[in-house]
């Protein structure tokens, strides 16, 4: 089965945390701002790589924090066979998560470290794959800017996968807002690893995508010799830049072929104007010595052909739309655009699991699906759509006719539609008539610009009262007090303190004698024992308590009695002085 019990996922996979549909397991690597962990997709039980970027650490570098979410968009546009695939992006208050493919073939750095270099034929294959990926990225306006041996992985087939697009960027005119920076000629940010960075990047000059060609030359030298072409001791960027501009490269081993040495010298040209582009260097004769050169460089053409003739796994789509509740159009759009999302991740990982089962999947052409969706959309727009079962929808023509009659029969004075149901609808079967009426009701209900087709004379229209409430016979929110009284009159009665027996609710706890717990009696004079056990002689409330309660009453309800409620500063000052005078009089009486 493609879908399995999710409870077993959490038992079989050791993890410390769950984020969305992913369980986070052991750590694979760690950088300045991010960690990479093994993850498990709980729906498909397929393992993924989860890059966790800590926002607090990224905030220390304004450039990194500003472009925190750009890596996902870059990977989406740079979708390629030799580029890591991004499935999903998640974000919490503290972290930003990138869900990518888990490459299981190993790291290139492990193959190079401790060795004197790889065979020339093997390096030729890797460099050709890197150049085809760079060609695709540059054609889509992307610059990697951090290409190095540490960012190269191998998949299960032994092919290259380029990772870590955290420092990548769009070339001017290719970003999300092309018109904003279309007048710029290149990039200016100094970033990446200095040992792999081009001279123009270290010099903080304007540069283009040829910086990736230089980095590819450094990678070629490192894979063939096991060391870097330019090194300085002690390390200084100025000294490294000087060696690059003077051409003081470490010696190229004589064991390498003539064409290989020529390739290295051309890609490591210090002057960017004389340095070849990716399209030019990929035609070098050293690369053409490979027996499968045509197949390797034809990957970009096959990508275009595959996108045009792309097929989808109909079994997986059926699971997404029926068992998991995804919208069909959302699934098709996400898969077509390689848009990182929960929908795209679930489809790709389930499809990956399906292919591992070695069963022949049922496929459907993506082009045909999109064409059918457009045809259905146009059919719905003109009222001639067909149902999923393939039978003609009998209520479509009736619904269209109802809408036409309803629009033509609108009354400008009353605001209601005075049209009645057409005679053709009344001759239909009861089921069809009810179906058409239901559709018309739903149509008018969900359209904010349409009014009821017929006023309901038995149910008068509810108009809001002055206080904003509706005239409905339901229990008031404030309990049984004043259930049938008007709200204004209720407030007048509440503010009327002339009655001797009336006590405000907020003052009742302090003035009203309440029976103590245990059924003890209360003194007849109504006096309450103080905290120290003493009581007032005359049973009157203490003045301090009276003042506090009165102030709270004024703060809550405003002025009462002869002081009108006003809003101006002068009136508020007058009211405050009036309150003070009343308090003084109360103090004198006490």
Per mean pLDDT, which range of 17-26, 278-287, 336-345, 394-403 is the poorest?
Answer: 394-403
pLDDT in tens, 277-309: 999 999 999 999 998 999 999 998 888 877 777
Best CA proximity match to 83, nearest among 167, 174, 171, 152 = 152
- Does pLDDT of 217 surpass 90? yes
Strands (E), 414-569: none
H/E stretch holding 313 reads strand 311-313
Sign, CA dihedral 392-394-397-400, equals negative
Please list the residues that pair with 152 across neighbouring strands. 162
* pLDDT confidence bin for 416, thresholds 50/70/90: very low
Per mean pLDDT, which range of 259-268, 463-472, 580-589 is the poorest?
Answer: 463-472
Task: Give the pLDDT score at 125.
Answer: 95
* pLDDT confidence bin for 570, thresholds 50/70/90: low
CATH of 108-175+187-303, one of 2.102.10.10, 1.10.510.10, 3.40.50.720, 3.40.50.970: 1.10.510.10
Average of pLDDT values for 338-352? 94
Percent of the chain with pLDDT over 90: 41
End-to-end distance of the chain based on CA atoms, in angstroms? 87
How far is Cα of residue 249 from the mean position of the Cα atoms in its chain?
47
* pLDDT confidence bin for 446, thresholds 50/70/90: very low
Q: Which two tokens stand for residue 530?
A: 């103080």
pTM of the model: 0.64
Distance CA 71, CA 488 (A): 61
What DSSP state is assigned to residue 541? P
Task: Give the pLDDT score at 470.
Answer: 42
Write out 346-415 in H/E/C secondary structure.
Answer: HHHHHHHHHHHCCCCCCEEEHHHHHHHHHHHHHHHHCCCCECCCCCECCHHHHHHHHHHHHHHCECCCCC
Average of pLDDT values for 555-561? 50
* pLDDT confidence bin for 408, thresholds 50/70/90: very low
pLDDT in tens, 105-158: 999 999 888 778 899 999 999 999 999 999 999 999 999 999 999 999 999 999
Task: Give the pLDDT score at 197.
Answer: 94
Average of pLDDT values for 202-230? 94
Angle 258-267/210-225 helices, nearest 10 degrees?
140
* pLDDT confidence bin for 551, thresholds 50/70/90: low
Task: Give the pLDDT score at 552.
Answer: 62
Average of pLDDT values for 351-359? 83
* Summary mean pLDDT of the chain: 75
Residues with a known catalytic role: 146
Which homologous superfamily is 1-102+328-382 in?
Phosphorylase Kinase; domain 1 (3.30.200.20)
Higher local confidence (pLDDT), 236 or 487: 236
Task: Give the pLDDT score at 437.
Answer: 54
Higher local confidence (pLDDT), 448 or 350: 350
pLDDT in tens, 537-546: 554 444 445 5
* pLDDT confidence bin for 4, thresholds 50/70/90: low
- Does pLDDT of 78 surpass 50? yes
Let me know: does 332 contact 365? Beta carbons within 8 Å: no
* pLDDT confidence bin for 361, thresholds 50/70/90: confident
pLDDT in tens, 517-527: 554 444 544 44
Task: Give the pLDDT score at 366.
Answer: 82
* pLDDT confidence bin for 185, thresholds 50/70/90: confident
Peptide bond into 545 cis (omega under 30): no
Q: Where are the domains of the chain?
A: 1-102+328-382, 108-175+187-303, 540-590
SS3 at position 38: strand
- Does pLDDT of 457 surpass 70? no
> 């498909």: which residue's tokens?
44
Average of pLDDT values for 325-342? 91
Q: Which two tokens stand for residue 45?
A: 């039980």
Q: Which two tokens stand for residue 570?
A: 């002068």
Distance CA 312, CA 354 (A): 12
Average of pLDDT values for 328-348? 92
Of these ranges, 91-100, 449-458, 463-472, 580-589, the one predicted with the greatest mean pLDDT is 91-100
Task: Give the pLDDT score at 460.
Answer: 45
pLDDT in tens, 9-55: 445 888 889 999 999 999 998 887 899 999 999 999 999 999 999 99
Let me know: does 92 contact 19? Beta carbons within 8 Å: yes
- Does pLDDT of 331 surpass 70? yes
Side-chain-side CA neighbours of 256 within 13 Å: the count stands at 25
Higher local confidence (pLDDT), 328 or 433: 328
Average of pLDDT values for 422-438? 46
């Amino acid at each position: 089965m493609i879908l399995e019990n999710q409870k077993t996922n959490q038992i079989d996979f050791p993890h410390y945390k769950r984020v969305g549909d992913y369980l986070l397991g052991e750590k694979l690597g760690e950088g300045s701002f991010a960690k990479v962990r093994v993850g498990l997709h709980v729906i498909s039980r397929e393992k993924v790589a989860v890059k966790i970027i800590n926002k607090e650490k990224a905030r220390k570098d304004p450039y990194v924090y500003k472009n925190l979410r750009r890596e996902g968009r870059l990977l989406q546009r740079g979708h390629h066979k030799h580029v890591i695939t991004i499935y999903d992006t998640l974000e919490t208050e503290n972290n930003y998560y990138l869900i990518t493919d888990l490459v299981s073939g190993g790291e290139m750095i492990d193959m190079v470290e401790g060795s004197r270099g790889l065979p020339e034929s093997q390096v030729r294959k890797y460099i050709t794959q890197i150049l085809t990926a760079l060609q695709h990225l540059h054609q889509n306006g992307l610059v990697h800017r951090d290409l190095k041996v540490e960012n190269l992985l191998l998949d299960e087939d032994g092919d290259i996968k380029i990772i870590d697009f955290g420092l990548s960027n769009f070339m001017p005119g290719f970003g999300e807002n092309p018109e904003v920076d279309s007048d710029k000629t290149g990039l200016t940010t100094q970033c990446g690893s200095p040992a792999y960075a081009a001279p123009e990047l270290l010099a903080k000059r304007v540069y283009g995508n040829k910086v990736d060609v230089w980095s590819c030359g450094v990678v070629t030298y490192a894979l063939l010799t096991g060391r870097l072409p330019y090194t300085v001791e002690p390390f200084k960027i100025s000294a490294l830049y000087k060696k690059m501009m003077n051409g003081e490269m470490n010696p190229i081993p004589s064991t390498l072929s003539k064409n290989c040495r020529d390739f290295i010298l051309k890609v490591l040209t210090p002057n960017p104007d004389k340095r070849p582009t990716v399209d030019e260097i990929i035609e070098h004769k050293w690369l053409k010595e490979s027996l499968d050169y045509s197949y390797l460089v034809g990957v970009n053409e096959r990508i275009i052909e595959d996108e045009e003739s792309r097929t989808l796994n109909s079994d997986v789509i059926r699971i997404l739309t029926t068992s998991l509740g995804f919208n069909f159009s959302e699934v098709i759009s996400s898969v077509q655009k390689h848009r990182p999302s929960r929908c795209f991740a679930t489809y790709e990982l389930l499809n990956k699991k399906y292919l591992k089962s070695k069963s022949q999947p049922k496929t459907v052409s993506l082009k045909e699906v999109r064409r059918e969706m457009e045809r259905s959309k146009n059919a719905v727009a003109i009222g001639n759509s067909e149902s999923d079962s393939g039978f003609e929808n009998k209520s479509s023509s009736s619904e269209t006719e109802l809408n036409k009659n309803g629009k033509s029969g609108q009354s400008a004075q009353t605001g209601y539609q005075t049209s009645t149901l057409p005679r053709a609808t009344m001759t239909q079967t009861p089921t069809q008539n009810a179906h058409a009426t239901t559709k018309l009701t739903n149509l008018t209900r969900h359209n904010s610009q349409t009014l009821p087709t017929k006023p309901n004379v038995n149910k008068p229209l509810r108009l809001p009262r002055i206080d904003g409430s509706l005239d409905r016979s339901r229990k008031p929110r404030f309990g049984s007090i004043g259930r049938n009284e008007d709200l204004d009159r209720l407030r007048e009665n509440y503010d009327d303190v002339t009655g001797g027996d009336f006590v405000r609710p907020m003052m009742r706890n302090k003035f009203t004698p309440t029976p103590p717990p245990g059924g003890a009696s209360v003194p007849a004079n109504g006096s309450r024992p103080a905290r120290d056990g003493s009581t007032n002689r005359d049973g009157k409330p203490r003045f301090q308590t009276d003042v506090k309660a009165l102030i709270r009453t004024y703060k809550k309800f405003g002025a009462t009695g002869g002081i009108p409620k006003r809003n101006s500063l002068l009136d508020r000052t007058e009211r405050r002085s009036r309150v003070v005078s009343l308090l003084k009089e109360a103090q004198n009486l006490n």
